[in-house]
Amino acid sequence: MFRLFFISFIILFISSCENKKNGTSFQKTNIQNIHFEIPETFSLKKSKSEDMVVYDIFSNGKSIGSIYFGSYYEPFHENYSITVEKEIYDKGKVNGEKIFLSDNAQRDYKNGIFNENYYYLDTINNKVGQIMLPKRSSKGLVGIYFDSIDIHKNKFAIISTDLSEHNKKIFLKIFKTIKIE
């Protein structure tokens, strides 16, 4: 009898630890054919939108990001201009545009010199996703984007606007739990 009780206790203990990742309890959730885990302190609230499904991510009552699912999501895009001409640069700055002056605009644009984020590709559960991390701790976004995740060529993205180090680590853990069926 004691042996049965002891084995049951061990199984319960292991299963309760399985959902904890470095002290944070995670819960399973899904959107359409995408399954992933989020901290129990997070909640998702569906937003009104057309042409796609949008969820706002809340932690302790504060909005910290969004989830996008649909065919019309535009992947990570940074809007700015680069020019080699001083006159165009001056005119753009006067008009309040996000514009940069460069001695080699093509090279700087291609290499993302003026981007606010770093971008790289990672394979998560056999699917290639584009990861976005901020270059500076105070500016940018944390996110992941998958293209054509189903037969309808829907796109999926999770974006966080909270740039605390703790939050970056949490979202990178969330990204690793994504499974697309």
Beta bridge partners of 160: 65, 142
Residue by residue, pLDDT tens for the chain (181 residues) are 555 444 444 444 444 444 454 567 999 999 989 999 999 999 999 998 888 899 999 998 899 999 999 988 777 777 778 888 888 888 888 888 888 888 888 887 777 788 888 989 998 888 899 999 998 888 889 999 998 888 888 999 999 998 888 999 999 999 999 999 8
Output the CA–CA distances (angstroms, integers) from residue 87 to 52, 84, 90, in the order listed: 41, 9, 5
- pLDDT of res. 23: 63
Is residue 159 within 8 Å of residue 66, measured between CB atoms?
A: yes
Which CATH number does 22-74+121-180 carry? Answer: 3.40.1000
Output the CA–CA distances (angstroms, integers) from residue 134 to 78, 92, 107, 120, 139, in the order listed: 12, 25, 21, 12, 6
Burial of 88 (0-12, 13-18, 19+ CB in 10 A): middle
Nearest to 163 by CA among 59, 64, 29: 64
- pLDDT of res. 13: 47
98 Ramachandran zone, left/alpha/beta (phi>0; psi -120 to 50): beta
pTM of the model: 0.76
- pLDDT of res. 12: 46
| Parts of the chain belonging to CATH 3.40.1000 | 22-74+121-180
- pLDDT of res. 1: 54
